[in-house]
């Protein structure tokens, strides 16, 4: 599926295309984007999405993002004003390091807010954050923006040193994209596109007979849409749970298989969203919630 990214930033387009399987993402070239004057990342992202929807004719997938870096010692600045703080790259880094000269508190975090508008105008969102600190000087050659001076929590290298492969798995934008993909999977399921028709059952059986992960999950999840009792272990305590299977067919050749285990009377849950071809082949998987340990 093609989606217009409401940004002229080709780096973001390529990064998001890798993070959102099934989408071909193209930057929307325009010289009159609305000013980023919102008080929140969401407000800015939504304004850009509305602009993109109008420009694309209102019948396309439209994706918008607003992101920023929040520095504790600067009271959360630059925050939503990151894009206007200074020209991107070396000038912005130089200004940031200048403001932090001699400051011991280097705590900071990246924030990303994604807004996706469907061709029908439905809004889906994903938010991601990455905690870390600001380095004393730029290091590394990959990434963009503040990556040469941002050291993620638990790491000693900057994002620019850790590289694009690390960034695709762990960045604030990667986390926002996973949340958005999960929201998209839920929306497809709730749309009721699948169900108990013969095609859905055939695709599910192909899925459960496929790779090792699917076969393992198939030992406790029903192979048809529905719910079965199952068992989880939380801190060594055996709990009764429910394991449910659902599927939604996404025309023309894809499907989303949703597997959910829920316990504590449904108050706690873990969900897998498998994005698959209709022959059962898994293209990607998103997980929401922490899985319960098993014995």
What does the alpha-carbon distance between residue 252 and residue 88 come to, in Å, rounded to a whole number? 41
Cβ-Cβ contacts under 8 Å for 261 (sequence gap 6 or more): 230, 232, 241, 242, 243, 244, 269, 270, 271, 291, 292
Which of 31, 32, 50, 66 is catalytic? The answer is: 66
Residues shown for the chain: 295
CA distances from 145 to 67, 68, 120, 175, 215 (A): 11, 10, 33, 17, 42
Q: Are 43 and 26 in contact (CB under 8 A)?
A: no
Within 13 A of 82's CA, how many CA atoms are on the CB side?
Answer: 22
Classified as helix, coil or strand, 14 is helix
Closest CA to 91 of 149, 143, 7: 149
Catalytic residue flag (residue 279): no
Rounded to whole angstroms, the Cα distance separating 17 from 61 reads 13
Task: Tell me the catalytic residues.
Answer: 66
């Amino acid at each position: 599926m093609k989606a217009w990214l409401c940004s002229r930033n080709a780096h973001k387009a390529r990064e998001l295309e890798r993070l959102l399987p099934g989408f071909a993402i193209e930057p929307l070239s325009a010289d009159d984007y609305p000013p980023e004057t919102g008080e929140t990342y969401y407000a800015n992202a939504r304004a850009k999405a509305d602009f993109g929807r109008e420009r694309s004719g209102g019948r396309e997938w439209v994706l918008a993002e607003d992101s920023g870096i929040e520095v504790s010692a600067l009271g959360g600045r630059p925050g939503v004003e990151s894009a206007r703080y200074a020209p991107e790259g070396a000038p912005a880094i130089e200004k940031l390091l200048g403001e932090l000269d001699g400051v011991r508190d280097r705590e900071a975090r990246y924030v990303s807010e994604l807004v996706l508008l469907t061709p029908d105008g439905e809004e889906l969102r994903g938010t991601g954050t990455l905690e870390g600190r600001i380095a004393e000087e730029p290091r590394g050659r990959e990434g963009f923006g503040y990556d040469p001076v941002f050291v993620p929590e638990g790491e000693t290298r900057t994002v620019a040193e850790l590289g694009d492969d690390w960034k695709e798995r762990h960045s604030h934008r990667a986390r926002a994209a996973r949340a958005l993909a999960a929201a998209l999977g839920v929306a497809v399921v709730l749309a009721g596109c699948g169900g108990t028709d013969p095609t859905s059952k055939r695709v599910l059986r192909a899925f459960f007979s496929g790779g090792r992960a699917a076969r393992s999950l198939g030992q406790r999840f029903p192979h048809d849409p529905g719910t079965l009792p199952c068992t989880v272990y939380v801190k060594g305590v055996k709990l009764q749970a429910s394991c449910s299977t659902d599927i939604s067919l996404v025309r023309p050749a894809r499907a989303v298989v949703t597997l959910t285990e829920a316990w504590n009377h449904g108050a706690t849950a873990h969900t897998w969203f498998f994005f698959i071809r209709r022959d059962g082949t898994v293209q990607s998987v998103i997980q929401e919630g922490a899985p319960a340990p098993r014995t």
